[in-house]
Amino acid sequence: MSEKRMEIDLSGIHWKMQKIRPGQGVKEGFHTMPSEYQGTFFNWNAAVVPGDIYSDLQRAGELDDPYFGRNFARAKWVQELEYWYFTKFDAPKEWAGKKVTVRFEGVDYSCEAWLNNQYLGSHEGMFSAFEFDVTDSVRFDEWREGCNILMIRLDPPPRNHGRVAGRKFCFGGDYMPDVIPFGIHRPVKVVATDMIKVGYTRIESSIDGRRADVSFEVELENLSDAAVTADLEITVKGENFESPLTASETVSVSVEPGKQTASVKVPVADAKLWWPWDMGDQHLYEAEIKVSRDGNVSDVSKEVFGIREITMEMNPGFSEDQVEYPWTFVINGKPTFLRSACWGGPPSMLYGRNTNAKYESRLNQVKEANINNLRIFGWHPPEVPYFYELCDRLGITVWTNFSFATQGYIATEEVLGGALSEAAEIVKQRRNHPSTIMWMGGEEVYFSGAHLESDNKLFMDEIGKVVNQHTHVPYAPASPLSAENGQLLGYKPNESAHANEHYYGAGAKPMEEYYPAQDYCVIPELTAASAPSVDALKKFIPEDELWPMGLSWGYHWADIDILKTLNVEVFGDEKTGSLEEFVEATQLAQGIIFQYALEYYRRQKPRLSCVALCHFMTHMPDIKWGIIDYYGDKKLSFDYVKRAYQPVLASVHYEKKRWDAGETFEAELWVVNDLHEELSGAKLNWEIVAGGKTVAEGAVDADIESNSAAAIAPIRWTVEGERFEFFNVNVALMNAAGEMLSENTHPLLIDSQEEGKMKLKAMHQANGKRIEEYGPTYYRYFPEALELD
């Protein structure tokens, strides 16, 4: 019997790299250097694949840490050159007679490749895998360090995202440095197979009671020049659980030269379903896909998948004039509320700094924060397969945008065709992960008048057609849809909106007036920001710029005026007495704002079906949106989100955050239940704590319906205390057995609501005047930097 597919993974540290002027490497004959061990490569830099150019240059001492201070500004020269990478390998002698290919799982952005001086070809697009047939150029000798030399030339990265739309992640924006990451960011493998090869497999499930029919569409490639008859066998068994039965089906297929698909349906009795973590278990199956000729195995592939169905329902309460699209996610027949966050990743925008351990740590923190969905939005790349694998195992659902964001795209034949081809590849690589529940075309692509004149809508519509060809997972065109220009394009007014203007327009409206004015099916972005810890700041802000704040704060996207204004909104004070005071206040303010907004939106279910805070984390050291920092440490805001996102939530609704002494504080107790189970005989205890003591308390009996949000009872208290002191409303929900289901606390400020609003409005106007005078750059905080001797 023939062996199955064999691979050599070239990942690791056995690579070298060299930089040179564009076009000069070929003139110098880098690609013609002999394979034998010799001295030409001795002085090339050691390199790591997968990785990125900047990280390899930093390791070599040619570049200071780009993340420190304003070093990224000093690294712009990197993107003006081309880079050559090479490695050596031996091919096993038993591979002789097989088809051998070199497979690149991801190169950012464009490259050419040679093996043993033989030109293999070129490729553009960072997300698509590609491969070259090297059967006629691979060697089977045994030379020192390997007789085969693989050489890759990387072009300088593209500088205009419009011409590479959808084929590279968006590298220009309000929290991107003016340098463009690039490199060999995914593994490179050498693969040997017989003449029939298994390619991508599409797996879809149809559930009928305890039984599921699992459909497989298998891409087969006949590498010979004649049609052959082969047996395609698919075997399904439990991957993370013991399955008493193994399901298997075999079909005979005629395989013509080239690529084609074959379909097989495998019935699975007593199917174990995959659920999000707050709805059930994460059962996973393994499918072995085997193709054989005359009893000899030609190739074998394995896929891990989950049996689950995703459908969409209309959100109740809206008319056809208000909403066109269904926005309620129904998983295995049960509606689910997405307690979401924009991911903000990968862990580092410089790929060479990403590790499996970082993904594991951060995704476990996602689950710890009670988040059940992550939204990868258009400013960030669709994630690597390991991310989706971890989400499968943790029960975190994923909504993935393609890489279109806040630009006007023009649909030339090359740009549109490349984008659609790349979109198909992105879907094929990720569609079998049960965590994948949504594909979306663009991010803020219907925001401006320029977008109306662009081909953005054409791109989004055509991408939707590609998605629907390759998966049953739902697709939506863009986020948001219901901004003014989105409506001019024909979208309905209550589909989706980004709740970001409380942050960007800090001081214009207090949170308790801004958020309740939003009435949409989904809120895909909700923004608040803070500084990371003092210890974290010291890792990327030069000591002489820590305090008072220096230019590197602005370079790392600190909206200093906004942070001060939001501190005043929450505390009545800018909290600028010291670095420590300011940092702590920004983190608490971020948490309190997130808590208020998230709980408000959750109380709107089922009219509203998703809210996503922006972001969970950050892809480089910054002073911005994450509730964990770049280094993976939690901010104080983390616990506020964790409480607001409890699957069963004891919540408090109130009209304002400021209450004057002597006023009657009035609020409503609520319970939000995202579980699909009733909670009969529950008890909701509440207390108001002021000045360190309980000043009012009570208890209410309640029967909580499954998958519901309902007001339980009113509470009242005459406010006592000094101005700018806090009082807290504490709530605790117990089940009939006396076990804790939910604990929560809401801090409110003793102050005049009207005076507070006037102070915030004045700060908002002053911030606007500063922007008018100096522009929106960070120099507005440090105008002295504009004056050079």
**Model confidence over 600-656: pLDDT tens digits?**
999 999 999 999 999 999 999 999 999 999 999 999 999 999 999 999 999 999 999
156/271 same-domain check = no
Taking CA 96 as the corner, what is the angle to CA 94 and CA 100, rounded to the nearest 5 degrees? 105
396/459 same-domain check = yes
Domain assignment of residue 72, given as a range? 6-193
Report DSSP letters for 342-397, one per residue.
Answer: E---SS-SSGGG--HHHHHHHHHHHHHTT--EEEE-TTSPPPPHHHHHHHHHHT-E
Residue 418: DSSP 8-state: H
Amino acid at 22: P
373/421 same-domain check = yes
Q: What is the pLDDT of residues 241-296, one digit of tens each?
A: 988 778 899 999 999 999 999 999 999 999 999 999 999 999 999 999 999 998 88
Total residue length of the chain: 789
- For residue 141, what pLDDT band results from cuts at 50, 70 and 90? confident
Among 35, 20, 15, which residue's Cα sits nearest to residue 85? 15
Q: Is 268 a domain residue?
A: yes
pLDDT exceeds 70 at position 39: no
| Portion of the chain with pLDDT greater than 70, in percent | 99
Task: Return the percent helix, strand and coil in the chain, to nearest 5.
Answer: 25, 35, 40
223/115 same-domain check = no
606 alpha carbon, distance to own chain's centre: 25
423/556 same-domain check = yes
670/726 same-domain check = yes
Last residue of a domain, one of 305, 337, 354: 305
CA–CA dist 432, 205 (Å, integer): 10
249/189 same-domain check = no
pLDDT of residue 311: 97
Q: Is 582 a domain residue?
A: yes
Residue 473: DSSP 8-state: S
CA–CA dist 295, 74 (Å, integer): 61
Q: Are the C-beta atoms of residues 548 and 781 closer than 8 Å to each other?
A: no
Residue 289: DSSP 8-state: E
Last residue of a domain, one of 193, 221, 250: 193
Q: Is 216 a domain residue?
A: yes
Locate all alpha helices (DSSP H) within 702-748, ordered by sequence. Answer: none
Q: Are the C-beta atoms of residues 641 and 594 closer than 8 Å to each other?
A: yes
Q: Is 504 a domain residue?
A: yes
Other Cβ atoms closer than 10 A to 324: 14
Q: What is the CATH number of the domain that holds 66?
A: 2.60.120.260
Other Cβ atoms closer than 10 A to 784: 7
Q: Is 760 a domain residue?
A: no
Q: Helix, strand or coil for residue 484?
A: helix
Q: Is 298 a domain residue?
A: yes
Q: What is the CATH number of the domain that holds 525?
A: 3.20.20.80
Phi, psi of 743 (to 5 degrees): -125, 145
Q: Is 777 a domain residue?
A: no
Q: Helix, strand or coil for residue 544?
A: helix
Q: What is the pLDDT of residues 535-575, one digit of tens each?
A: 999 999 999 999 999 999 999 999 999 999 999 999 999 99
584/676 same-domain check = no
CA–CA dist 303, 296 (Å, integer): 21
Cβ neighbours of residue 242 closer than 8 Å, sequence gap 6 or more: none
CA–CA dist 517, 509 (Å, integer): 11
| Portion of the chain with pLDDT greater than 90, in percent | 92
Which single residue is written with the structure tokens 């909290």?
Answer: 575
pLDDT of residue 46: 94
Q: Is 768 a domain residue?
A: no
Paired strand residues for 231: 252, 292
CA–CA dist 166, 405 (Å, integer): 10
Among 273, 276, 473, which residue's Cα sits nearest to residue 372? 276
Q: What is the pLDDT of residues 377-431, one digit of tens each?
A: 999 999 999 999 999 999 999 999 999 998 999 999 999 999 999 999 999 999 9
pLDDT of residue 275: 98
Q: Are the C-beta atoms of residues 397 and 373 closer than 8 Å to each other?
A: yes
When pLDDT is averaged across residues 469-496 and rounded to a whole number, the result is 96
When pLDDT is averaged across residues 222-231 and rounded to a whole number, the result is 92
pLDDT of residue 365: 98
532/583 same-domain check = yes
CA–CA dist 572, 565 (Å, integer): 9
The tally of domains found in the chain comes to 4
Cis peptide leading into 335, omega within 30 of 0? no
Q: What is the CATH number of the domain that holds 301?
A: 2.60.40.10
Among 316, 304, 62, 91, which residue's Cα sits nearest to residue 191? 91
Secondary structure string (H, E, C) spanning 83-142: EEEEEEECCCHHHCCCEEEEEECCCECEEEEEECCEEEEEEECCCCCEEEECCCCCCCCC
pLDDT exceeds 80 at position 92: yes
pLDDT of residue 1: 32
Q: Are the C-beta atoms of residues 226 and 186 closer than 8 Å to each other?
A: no
527/575 same-domain check = yes
Among 154, 266, 168, 131, which residue's Cα sits nearest to residue 212? 266
184/283 same-domain check = no
Residue 172: DSSP 8-state: -
CA–CA dist 159, 182 (Å, integer): 11
> What is the pTM for the complete model shown?
0.96
238/179 same-domain check = no
Last residue of a domain, one of 305, 331, 346: 305
